[in-house]
Chains A and B, each alone.
Chain A
Amino acid sequence: MTTRVAVLKGGRSLERQVSLASGARVADALERLGHDVVSIDVGSDLVAALREARPDVAFIALHGRGGEDGTVQELLEVLGIPYTGSDVHGCMRCSDKVLTKLALRDGGLPTPEWVALGEVAFQDLGAADALANVAERLGFPLVVKPVSQGSALGVKFAHTAEQLPTALVAALAYGSRVLLERHVAVRELAVSMVCGDHGARVEALPIVEAVPRGAAYDFEARYEIGQTDFVCPAALEPAVAEHVRAIALAAWELLGARGFARADMILGEDGPTVLEVNPIPGLTETSLLPQAADAAGMGFDEVVDRVLADALSRSAGASVG
């Protein structure tokens, strides 16, 4: 069946460049699948562009603010245009790291201990005086992250109390709230998940592990180019891998993800914990979800096909505006 698909890409988020690459790949795949594709670089004329394009469905290939936080999803619902991926609530829960962690904790899933603080707390409520308590409770090294920045942008480490203010200033450049998390990195894993064919159950793909090069455990060097290898499937005991994937799938259910998602996890001495779930994972040539799909023998086109079918199956009966 030929479907008219609007691929939403680009936008104003800090991850614009990645989104343009993801969107271009998705558009290519959709065309190969025989669909009628119109690509839209999302801007202030989005509604007009959608009205003119009159798509049957929108494939959201946006990353970051506005694209995967429920904003564009809400707009598409207003316009009556079905869309791929998680719904408004799912996106909101996934894109806000605090909401994610609260949901995970309430649902009994493991996630590293954390404290969340807003700029207002520092400015108006004297939260700086409580930083020592935070540090005491969580212990160093601490990871400081913007609460609602999807990518690694703005993520800082503080090894000592003296480094904390600088890390907070940097993370708060990306948004008004920060998450302080105990750093428990032992092995870093990513579990990509794709919905099954035509409404079948979600499937967890082979696990990707970020492995630092060289013998020495150098925490900073791991993230320098050429210092990290991405191994898929990760070398894990089958039972451990199964456990990791089961937790990722439980997080999917708990957060209400749809279509596709990627859970970023840590495998520590006490077992796996979930750091976050990305509702619109990167879809570029070098992104992890396509690599994981490939390791599972699933081509990129099939991923796109499944995610599109999921969107259309949800929309049965919805009007198209």
Chain B
Amino acid sequence: MSERRPPRSSAHELERYAGLFASRTRVMRSSAMRDLMAVTVRPEVISLAGGLPDTSTFDPALFKELVGRMPSAAALQYGPSEGLQGVRDAIVSVMAAEDMAVDPDEVIVTTGGQQAIDLVTKTLIDPGDVVIAEAPTYPGAVPTFCAYEADVIQIDVDSDGMRIDALEQTLAALDAAGRRPKFIYTIPNFQNPAGVTMSLERRLALVEIARERELIVLEDNPYGMLRYEGEALPTLRSLEAPGPTDENDFVIYTGTMSKILSPGVRVGWLVAPRPLLAKLVLGKQSTDLCSSSLAQHFVSEYFASGDWRPYVASLCELYHRRRDVMLDALAEHLPAAATWTRPHGGLFIWVTLPDYIGTSDLLARALAENVAFVPGEAAFADGRGQHSMRLNFSSSTDENIREGVRRIGKIVAEQVALYGTLTGRPSGAPAAGGGETTEATPDAPAAPAAEPQAPGEGLASVLQLPRRGALGGRRSREA
């Protein structure tokens, strides 16, 4: 039995703490969708929701060997804020594999790629500053931007990545309003969540815009090495600084060990123009002094133990097959009214349903069938994405991918049929235009949408299950 504690007066306590919270914490809230996600961890649920690599593929014997080789005293000690030399050297070799030439002293090791996003935002954003992101964007970046009270403007992506024409319009509109974004956040390769890849033409255009307007671009490249088809495209970083002596002025690059080795080590990195680098290091010091020495020594030993590329190649082979299994299953089981992207790499497929089906609500029905996905609204700061979902294919077996997609297909078909019945437009027959799409647009505002969850009752639930807008302290605007 635990130690006795004096009873507390809950409401007064709560009020007292509420008075202590910084105003920015108002946007750091849970959401109904996030609460639903809690159900997805149950073992009977086939979860296509996570963004997980398959770590079961890592050789357990090698793991033990590497741990055995770690120098105990140093691994248990603090390390430099910029990261261990061995890890920075490893990062240089990983970046070289994607045709980027960097000096180890340009690199800051971070606690996962997530910390890189956090540090850049912390370093550059004052409340109300504009961050430009893709629509949809990485769901984990949205709460970070919002926590620093950024005004997030999202630019639609299509099969060639961020629409540069829309970006230019937005920049012009911001100019006219006397504002300029602090940075542009993009995932050019196999974007999370849409799975699309920015074309070379657009990469060149984006780098040119950054140069011309002197805008920072945060290039997030966790998946670049996980390509299953087609030729690799140059990173924004390498386009801006093609040679080893070229200065990198506007691109901040972030990478991670999460997808090529392990997300559990929480080792990512930042490469930034030198004047920014010093500030970023200070920011990191105030956050955690240094990333885990234990984890870094593991990474360092791993890269010292031999060629790291065959393991990545084996992951590519595995994920490639699972992607194909998922694409086939989608074609087989999803009604014709649904569309989805065909990623050339990475971990995700983005599925868009007819505009009368809300995917956050659909998740409730999916969970009843023991299958889960990420509702699209997680990838937006402005409430869009309600008709889309993100599916992960890297962390499930072929069998579970097929079965999970079959179940999703079944409930979507039921909802399509129900809507047909309700509107007197029976839609049993496949509609035209379904299947793989070249668009990754979030959703088209066509069908008269019901107001998203707003309770006429259930007052307590209003507090327990915050809804729409939970992440958007500042309403972001569409491009």
Contact surface of A with B, Cβ cutoff 8 Å:
12-18, 20, 25, 28-29, 31-32, 34, 36-37, 43, 119, 122-123, 128-129, 131, 143-145, 149-160, 162-174, 181, 183, 185, 188-190, 208, 210, 219-220, 222-226, 228, 230, 232, 262, 264, 266, 275-276, 278, 281-282, 284-291, 293-295, 299-301
Q: Which A residue's beta carbon lies closest to that of B366? A: A173
**What is the minimal beta-carbon distance from B408 to any residue of chain A, in angstroms?**
12
Q: Is B282 an interface residue (CB 8 A)?
A: no
Taking a contact as CB atoms under 8 Å apart, the answer to whether A168 and B422 are in contact is: yes
Counting chain B CB atoms within 10 Å of each CB, which of A36, A152, A286, A294 scores highest? Answer: A152
Taking a contact as CB atoms under 8 Å apart, the answer to whether A155 and B457 are in contact is: yes
Residues of A within 8 A of B314 (CB): none
Residues of B within 8 A of A16 (CB): 35, 38-39
Taking a contact as CB atoms under 8 Å apart, the answer to whether B450 and A17 are in contact is: no
Write 23 A-B pairs (CB below 8 A) sorted by A numbering.
A128-B423, A144-B450, A145-B457, A156-B454, A162-B448, A163-B448, A165-B422, A168-B418, A170-B358, A171-B361, A174-B364, A219-B454, A223-B467, A225-B26, A264-B458, A266-B456, A288-B459, A288-B460, A294-B10, A299-B7, A299-B9, A299-B10, A300-B8
Q: Is B127 an interface residue (CB 8 A)?
A: no
Q: Is B397 an interface residue (CB 8 A)?
A: no
**Range of interface residues on B (Cβ < 8 Å):** 35 or more
Q: Which B residue's beta carbon lies closest to that of A97? A: B457
- Additional 13 contacts, C-beta under 8 A, given A219-B454, A294-B10, A294-B12: A12-B39, A14-B36, A31-B2, A123-B421, A131-B422, A155-B456, A167-B450, A173-B364, A174-B364, A190-B459, A225-B470, A289-B460, A300-B9
Taking a contact as CB atoms under 8 Å apart, the answer to whether B5 and A276 are in contact is: no
**Contact string against A for B residues 390-431, beta-carbon threshold 8 Å, 1 for contact and 0 otherwise:** 000000000000000000000100010111011110000000
Taking a contact as CB atoms under 8 Å apart, the answer to whether B14 and A154 are in contact is: no
Taking a contact as CB atoms under 8 Å apart, the answer to whether B453 and A153 are in contact is: yes
**What is the minimal beta-carbon distance from A257 to any residue of chain B, in angstroms?**
16
Counting chain B CB atoms within 10 Å of each CB, which of A12, A167, A170, A222 scores highest? Answer: A170
Give CA–CA (A303, B42) in the complex, Å: 31
A223 in contact with B454 given A131-B422, A287-B464 (CB within 8 Å): yes
Pick the 6 closest A-B CB pairs, nearest first: A152-B455, A294-B11, A167-B450, A275-B457, A165-B422, A151-B461
Q: Is B362 an interface residue (CB 8 A)?
A: yes
Residues of B within 8 A of A157 (CB): 450-451, 454, 456
Counting chain B CB atoms within 10 Å of each CB, which of A13, A163, A173, A223 scores highest? Answer: A173
Give CA–CA (A160, B8) in the complex, Å: 48
Taking a contact as CB atoms under 8 Å apart, the answer to whether A163 and B5 are in contact is: no
Counting chain B CB atoms within 10 Å of each CB, which of A34, A119, A165, A232 scores highest? Answer: A165
Q: Is B432 an interface residue (CB 8 A)?
A: no
Give CA–CA (A123, B422) in the complex, Å: 9
A170 in contact with B361 given A16-B38, A157-B450 (CB within 8 Å): yes
Give CA–CA (A254, B288) in the complex, Å: 58
Q: Which of A37, A154, A160 is within 8 Å of B364, CB to CB? A: A154
Residues of B within 8 A of A293 (CB): 11
Residues of B within 8 A of A282 (CB): 460-461, 463-464
Residues of B within 8 A of A171 (CB): 361
Taking a contact as CB atoms under 8 Å apart, the answer to whether B458 and A12 are in contact is: no
Q: Is B447 an interface residue (CB 8 A)?
A: yes
**What is the minimal beta-carbon distance from A113 to any residue of chain B, in angstroms?**
13
Residues of A within 8 A of B32 (CB): 152-153
Q: Is B29 an interface residue (CB 8 A)?
A: yes
**What is the minimal beta-carbon distance from B16 to any residue of chain A, in angstroms?**
12
Q: Which B residue's beta carbon lies closest to that of A34? A: B4
Give CA–CA (A66, B13) in the complex, Å: 32
Give residues 344-365 of B contacting A (CB, 8 Å): 356-358, 361-362, 364-365
**What is the minimal beta-carbon distance from A107 to any residue of chain B, in angstroms?**
19
Q: Is B327 an interface residue (CB 8 A)?
A: no
**What is the minimal beta-carbon distance from A296 to any residue of chain B, in angstroms?**
10
Give CA–CA (A158, B448) in the complex, Å: 10
Give CA–CA (A305, B349) in the complex, Å: 51
Give CA–CA (A55, B5) in the complex, Å: 23
Residues of A within 8 A of B469 (CB): 224-225
Taking a contact as CB atoms under 8 Å apart, the answer to whether A226 and B462 are in contact is: no
Residues of A within 8 A of B465 (CB): 15, 18, 151-153
Residues of B within 8 A of A172 (CB): 415, 418
Q: Which of B10, B421, B448, B458 is within 8 Å of A285, CB to CB? A: B10
**What is the minimal beta-carbon distance from B171 to any residue of chain A, in angstroms?**
29
Taking a contact as CB atoms under 8 Å apart, the answer to whether A294 and B9 are in contact is: yes
Q: Which B residue's beta carbon lies closest to that of A301? A: B7
Counting chain A CB atoms within 10 Å of each CB, which of B5, B9, B451 scores highest? Answer: B451
